[in-house]
């Protein structure tokens, strides 16, 4: 027995010493475990929930936690907590909406969506929605809506154009992409360290889908600078949510537009370690008295 134990220990020591020789940040070979495995069921559940706004399909809501005591926590501030709140909204909207969930991504227990609401309560909107799962069911939801502009932006881009599928990347790459984008928002947009802009972009290259800004990283900052002191002034206060799948990263931040407390939802595509493309939606946060739940925007 002693010999066996000694043999096992020496094998263990051998394994440990092999591990110790590997460069930090690796766990041996780059196998499939280094990749986040997307749960396609969850993406199709979320797609069905978004489409239900158009179709009224109540069966889509089976993916949402049914127990009102552990209710569905709602951050869409105009909608009450719980499944009844969503179903009530749905009944009211039935047959008046056309909804195209365009980009659906997953980060751990979160699924996030960029949606083209071709028609929603009588007008087109750019939408972002985030759903959080717990024990296999959806327990929390955040949203953002901005009316869709009728014209393309100064570079001719539609607010929804561009790639819709995330590149399959390792968990480490996804994390690096999230870190890069969050650092950019904190450093350049919140702390206004505009001299650091070059760290985050490949030169000045940026494909911009914001409705009123053209391509290029510097054009983005110039647009913010041009609005200082106007009713459209832009102020970033802090980042609140960062989610990513592969080369796509969503950052939700709190800030002000023209002094009014607002939320910024911004989707970024990262290419070779630099920000390459940007989509967004900005929405004022309604005053507390108008909320129909107590959960806050974030
Ligand atoms: C809503 O749309 C469905 C499917 O298109 C249709 O069958 C139904 O009659 C419509 N209901 C109303 C009230 O328009
Ligand atoms: C995928 O998600 C569904 C719904 O939450 C869940 O029931 C299922 O267990 C998940 N599959 C895996 C492999 O995690």
Mutational pocket test of ligand 2: of 33, 39, 108, the residue with most ligand atoms within 8 Å of the beta carbon: 39
pLDDT in the model for residue 21:
39
Q: Which ligand 2 atom is nearest residue 39's CA?
A: 1
Spans of all domains in the chain: 40-147, 171-288
95-131 confidence digits (pLDDT tens): 789 999 999 999 999 999 999 999 998 899 999 999 9
pLDDT in the model for residue 154:
94
Find the 122 Cα to ligand 1 centroid distance in Å. 17
Instruction: Specify the residue with its C-alpha closest to ligand 2, atom 13.
Output: 39
pLDDT in the model for residue 72:
76
Among the bound ligands, the one closest to the CA of 39? 2
pLDDT in the model for residue 32:
58
Find the 42 Cα to ligand 2 centroid distance in Å. 7
Fold of 171-288: Nuclear Transport Factor 2; Chain: A, (3.10.450)
Instruction: Specify the residue with its C-alpha closest to ligand 2, atom 9.
Output: 136
Q: Which ligand 2 atom is nearest residue 37's CA?
A: 13
Instruction: Specify the residue with its C-alpha closest to ligand 2, atom 5.
Output: 136
Question: Of 3.40.30.10, 3.30.420.130, 3.40.50.10130, 3.10.450.50, which CATH number belongs to 40-147?
Answer: 3.10.450.50
Which DSSP string do the residues of the chain spell out, in sequence order?
A: -HHHHHHHHHHHHHHHHHHHHSPTT--SS--GGGB----HHHHHHHHHHHHHHHH--GGGGGGB---GGG--EE-STTS-SHHHHHHHHHHHHTTS-EEEEEEEEEETTEEEEEEEEEEETTEEEEEEEEEEEETTEEEEEEEEEEEPPSS--TTS--TT-S--S----BHHHHHHHHHHHHHHIIIIIIS--GGGGGGTBBTTB-EE-STT--SSHHHHHHHHHHTTTSTT-EEEEEEEEEEEETTEEEEEEEEEETTEEEEEEEEEEEETTEEEEEEEEEEEPPPGGG-SSSS---
Check pocket membership of 65 for ligand 2, CB cut-off 6 A.
no
pLDDT in the model for residue 71:
64
Check pocket membership of 39 for ligand 2, CB cut-off 6 A.
yes
Q: Mean pLDDT in each 10-residue stretch from start to end of the chain (298 residues)? A: 48 41 41 83 96 89 76 82 78 83 97 96 94 94 95 95 96 97 98 96 97 96 96 97 98 97 98 98 94 89
Among the bound ligands, the one closest to the CA of 45? 2
Find the 102 Cα to ligand 2 centroid distance in Å. 22
pLDDT in the model for residue 25:
38
pTM given for the model: 0.85
pLDDT in the model for residue 22:
38
pLDDT in the model for residue 115:
98
Q: Do domains 40-147 and 171-288 have the same CATH topology?
A: yes
Among the bound ligands, the one closest to the CA of 96? 1
pLDDT in the model for residue 133:
96
Check pocket membership of 131 for ligand 2, CB cut-off 6 A.
no
């Amino acid at each position: 027995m002693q010999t066996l134990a000694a043999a096992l220990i020496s094998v263990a020591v051998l394994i440990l010493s092999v591990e110790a020789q590997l460069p930090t940040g690796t766990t041996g070979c780059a196998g499939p475990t280094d990749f986040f495995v997307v749960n396609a069921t969850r993406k199709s559940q979320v797609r069905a929930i978004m489409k239900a706004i158009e179709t009224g399909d109540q069966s889509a809501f089976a993916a949402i936690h049914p127990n009102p005591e552990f209710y569905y926590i709602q951050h869409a501030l105009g909608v009450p907590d719980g499944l009844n709140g969503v179903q009530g909204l749905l009944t009211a909207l039935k047959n008046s909406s056309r909804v195209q969930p365009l980009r659906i991504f997953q980060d751990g227990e979160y699924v996030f969506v960029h949606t083209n609401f071709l028609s929603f309560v009588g007008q087109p909107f750019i939408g972002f929605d985030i759903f959080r799962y717990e024990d296999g069911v959806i327990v929390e939801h955040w949203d953002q809506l901005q009316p869709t502009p009728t014209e393309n932006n100064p570079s001719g881009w539609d607010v929804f154009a561009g790639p819709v599928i995330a590149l399959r990347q390792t968990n480490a790459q996804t994390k690096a992409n999230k870190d890069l984008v969050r650092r950019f928002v904190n450093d350049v947009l919140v702390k206004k360290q505009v001299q650091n802009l070059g760290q985050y972009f490949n030169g000045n290259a940026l494909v911009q889908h914001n409705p009123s800004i053209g391509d290029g990283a510097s054009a983005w900052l110039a647009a913010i600078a041009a609005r200082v002191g106007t009713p459209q002034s832009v102020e970033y206060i802090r980042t609140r949510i960062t989610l990513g799948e592969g080369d796509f990263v969503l950052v939700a931040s709190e800030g002000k537009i023209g002094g009014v407390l607002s939320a910024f939802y911004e989707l970024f595509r990262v290419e070779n370690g630099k920000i390459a493309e940007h989509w967004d939606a900005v929405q004022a946060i309604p005053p507390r008295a108008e909320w129909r739940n107590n959960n806050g925007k974030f």
